[in-house]
Amino acid sequence: MDNINIRRACADDCKGILRMIKELATYEKLGDDVHLTEQELRQDGFGDRVFYQCFVAELKSKETDEASSPQGDSLVGFAMFYFVYDPWTGRSICLEDFYVMRAHRGQGIGSEILKLVSQVAVESRCSVMTFLVAEWNADSIEFYRRRGAVNCTASEGWHVYNITRQSLQEIASDQKPWRDVVVQA
The residues annotated as belonging to the active site are: 144
Residue 140 amino acid letter: S
Q: What H or E segment, with its residue span, contains residue 100?
A: strand 90-100
Give the residue among 154, 172, 155 at the shortest CA–CA distance from 163.
Answer: 172
Torsion of CA 51, 52, 53, 54, to 10 degrees: -140
What is the distance between the alpha carbons of residues 62 and 3, in angstroms, rounded to a whole number? 8
What is the distance between the alpha carbons of residues 153 and 180, in angstroms, rounded to a whole number? 32
What is the distance between the alpha carbons of residues 115 and 109, in angstroms, rounded to a whole number? 10
Burial 79-110 (b: 16+ CB within 10 A, else e): bbbeeeeeeeeeebbbbbbbbbbeebeebebb
